Chains A and B, each alone.
Chain A
Amino acid sequence: MSTNATHEAATRETTIEADPNLPTIRIVRDFDAPRDKVFRAWTDPELVVQWLGPKSTEMRIDQWNARTGGNYRYAALREGVEVAAFYGSFHEVRPSERMVQTFTWEGMPDGVSLETMTFEDLGDGRTRTIGLSVVENLESRDGIMASGMEVGVYEGYEKLDALLAEG
């Protein structure tokens, strides 16, 4: 659908695709940094902790062994208290190209998704990341979309929830 977006410098903002027939979420984002660097920001826990967590909460990374066969666990904190935790395994970490991992929110321990992240060299020191999440069924996918994956409060939530309550 957005396969011809390679030269659209203006479409730098995140795009999301949720196929109505498949339990998937596809997230695409371009970065003004070379592929090796973007990959490093995704694999070095000291860098990951600076951006991965939700905005309104602090992050704590317990494990982030971003190598094939490695594992991870991280938690979102609010006022020092853990409000959500996530864990999984790194199925494959192919330097600067690809990361495949499982993902579970501990609040729903039976749920697991498979996340494939592809790092695409766009030239001129730019990189496109393509994240594909595959979950168990459409209901789970829709639940993830609805919750925004994170348990934290997000600006605009209240407004939207009020709108939903009206309907």
Chain B
Amino acid sequence: MSEDRLSRIFAALADPTRRDIVARLSVGDATVGQLAAPYNVSIQAVSKHLKVLEDAGLVSRSQDAQRRPRHLEAEVFDLMTAWIERYRRQAEERFRRLDAVLAAMDDEREPTINQGAAS
């Protein structure tokens, strides 16, 4: 279910620690230990955050079996951009129809409405 997936992505990114992890992974792959270092939390807690990011498809584990560095799935962000762009385009289409309505109102020479009058 694509919408479920999108919800998981947004939910995963709603947490500031997870957003920070994503920001750091955007620079390069990192192990759980490396990711946990700057935070005042256990490796276990960071693993939990990583699990959420993995479930959302935002982060994957690299092949290196020993260190298992985490890798950011950049394409997923392209996908989110696509969803938002689709939404934006829908709004834009609606507003273009409004442009046309406004242009047609021009031609009609509407009488001036007295906005100042008490109603």
Candidates B11, B75, B91; contact of A167 at CB < 8 Å: B75
Cβ contact within 8 Å between A160 and B115: no
Cβ contact within 8 Å between B97 and A51: yes
Cβ contact within 8 Å between A139 and B11: yes
Considering the complex, give the chain B residue whose CB is closest to the CB of A131. B91
**Nearest Cβ distance between residue A157 and chain B, in whole angstroms?**
7
Give chain A's interface residue range (CB within 8 Å of chain B): 35 or more
Expressed in whole angstroms, the Cα–Cα distance for A41 and B110 within the complex equals 12
- Decide yes or no whether B88 CB sits under 8 A from chain A: yes
- Closest A-B pairs by Cβ, 4 of them: A51-B97, A164-B2, A142-B10, A33-B102
- Decide yes or no whether B113 CB sits under 8 A from chain A: yes
User: Contacts A38-B102, A47-B101, A160-B83 known; A14 to B92 CB distance under 8 Å?
Assistant: yes
Listed by A's residue number, 9 A-B pairs whose Cβ atoms lie within 8 Å are A31-B95, A31-B98, A32-B102, A33-B105, A36-B115, A37-B110, A41-B101, A148-B86, A167-B5
Expressed in whole angstroms, the Cα–Cα distance for A96 and B6 within the complex equals 37
Instruction: Enumerate chain A residues within 8 angstroms of B75, measured Cβ to Cβ.
Output: 167
Residue-by-residue, is A1-39 near B (CB-CB < 8 Å gives 1, otherwise 0)? 000000000000111101011000001010111001110
Cβ contact within 8 Å between B102 and A37: yes
Expressed in whole angstroms, the Cα–Cα distance for A141 and B100 within the complex equals 29
Instruction: Enumerate chain B residues within 8 angstroms of A138, measured Cβ to Cβ.
Output: 10-11, 14
Residue-by-residue, is B79-93 near A (CB-CB < 8 Å gives 1, otherwise 0)? 100111011111111
Instruction: Enumerate chain B residues within 8 angstroms of A121, measured Cβ to Cβ.
Output: none
Expressed in whole angstroms, the Cα–Cα distance for A153 and B82 within the complex equals 16
Binding site for A on B (CB under 8 A): 2-3, 5-7, 10-11, 13-14, 16, 19, 57, 75-76, 79, 82-84, 86-95, 97-102, 105-106, 110, 113, 115
For the complex with contacts A47-B101, A50-B101, A160-B86, 5 further pairs of A-B residues with Cβ separation under 8 Å are A47-B105, A51-B100, A52-B94, A143-B7, A167-B76
Contacts between chains A and B (CB distance < 8 A), count:
112
Cβ contact within 8 Å between A146 and B99: no
- Decide yes or no whether A163 CB sits under 8 A from chain B: yes
- Decide yes or no whether A110 CB sits under 8 A from chain B: no
**Nearest Cβ distance between residue B6 and chain A, in whole angstroms?**
5
Expressed in whole angstroms, the Cα–Cα distance for A157 and B103 within the complex equals 30
Question: Which chain A residues in 118-140 approach chain B with CB under 8 Å?
Answer: 138-139
Cβ contact within 8 Å between B101 and A51: yes
- Decide yes or no whether A78 CB sits under 8 A from chain B: no
Question: Which chain A residues in 141-167 approach chain B with CB under 8 Å?
Answer: 141-143, 145-150, 154, 156-157, 160-161, 163-165, 167
Cβ contact within 8 Å between B79 and A164: yes
